[in-house]
Amino acid sequence: MKNKKALITGISGQDGAYLAKFLLSKNYIVIGGERQNASGSTWRLKELGIENKVKVVPFELLEENNIVDVIRLGKFDEIYNLAAQSFVGNSYSSPIFTSNVNALGVTRILEAIRHFSKKTRFYQASTSEMYGNSKSNRQNEITSFEPVSPYAISKLYAHWMVNMYRDAYNIFCCSGILFNHESPLRGGEFVTKKIIRDLARVKYKYLSNLSLGNIYSKRDWGYSEDYVEAMWKMLQQKKARDFVISSGKTYTVKDFVNKASKYYGFDLIWEGTGLSEKALDKKTKKVIVRIDKKYFRPTEVNYLYGNSSKAKKNLQWSPKTNIDQLIKKMCDHEIKKYK
């Protein structure tokens, strides 16, 4: 049988690298789209030992002609759109850029598929951030969206566009509504990686303490390598449908700090409230964690807790890695840098 050919946009990102590894294990020909001013290049592919197995092509979500050329000439069986301005914090200072990339960028891809590659199956990286401050106790595919950040609003636009192209033009396109997922390859701007990286710096005396913003928001954290398999499963279905992918557990940022600190050998005692709250190590009395108002956002998603029963039933997908195993993977990877 002919090998399938897939385009992964955002190949230099966390999920791009793990998805490339996964598709290669399924004998796909993997083409990675990378924007030309890419900062991180392909270090994640190198970490996974697959940099020579993926052909990287220029791919810029802001550039319609570039997108049309790649899709028209590529004749892809599947396209996974993982490229995005993905940091919620930055979307407040760059709302126009974020919308152009995350919202209109997806319309550019859908138009290219509609005109030049109608048989290509398309996966869009939607997000639990779209639920915003929805009142639901656990969010699933029928929970209403109440986005509160420019990032979430841009992603919701793309999410509805994908639905529209599916209904109007009979294109196989769907969205995975993925809850937060992390890994040793997570970008340092996201809170889990920041916690793991900075606590290691404190442990090995390169930093005096870790500074954080809101430690009371709750997130449903899973492991990226588990989640990319669900993306692939969505494109193997008979019918294109959207699915929630989550770990089914929720923890505060503070819980995550406590768990990671324990793994590194700190025994934290918390004291104070609000901006004065801090955590000291019981043995040394040294301040390990501080709160800094510069890390608070103008609006916050306080609570995310997903329900992926539909994925379990229809995709036979369940998460394999729990939060403690995830933290162990991330901490061990970080500690290696100091040994």
Which residue of 6, 8, 12, 166 would you call a contact of ligand NAP, by CB under 6 A? 12
Would you call 206 a catalytic residue per the annotation? no
CB-based burial, 199-217: b 16+ in 10 Å, e otherwise = bbbbbeeeeebbebbbbeb
191 binds, among ligand GDD, ligand NAP, none (CB under 5 to 8 A by kind): ligand GDD
281 binds, among ligand NAP, ligand GDD, none (CB under 5 to 8 A by kind): none
Which residue of 25, 27, 39, 316 would you call a contact of ligand NAP, by CB under 6 A? 39
Q: How far is the CB of 127 from ligand GDD (least distance, A)?
A: 3
Which residue of 66, 86, 143, 224 would you call a contact of ligand GDD, by CB under 6 A? 86
The answer to whether 238 and 303 have CB atoms below 8 angstroms apart is no
Among residues 151, 157, 303, 305, which one is catalytic?
A: 151
Which residue of 4, 90, 213, 264 would you call a contact of ligand GDD, by CB under 6 A? 213
Query: Looking only at residues 161 through 200 of this chain, which bind ligand GDD when binding is defined by CB under 6 A?
Result: 179-180, 189-191, 194
The answer to whether 315 and 166 have CB atoms below 8 angstroms apart is no
Q: Which is nearer to ligand NAP, 149 or 261 (CB)?
A: 149
Taking the C-alpha atoms of residue 196 and residue 194, their distance in angstroms, rounded to an integer, is: 6
Query: Looking only at residues 51 through 90 of this chain, which bind ligand NAP when binding is defined by CB under 6 A?
Result: 59-62, 82-86
CB-based burial, 107-144: b 16+ in 10 Å, e otherwise = bbbbbbbeebbeebbbbbbbbbbbbbebeeebbbeebe
Taking the C-alpha atoms of residue 44 and residue 81, their distance in angstroms, rounded to an integer, is: 17
Interface with ligand GDD by CB under 6 A: which residues? 86, 88-89, 127-129, 179-180, 189-191, 194, 212-215, 217, 219, 253, 295, 297, 300, 304
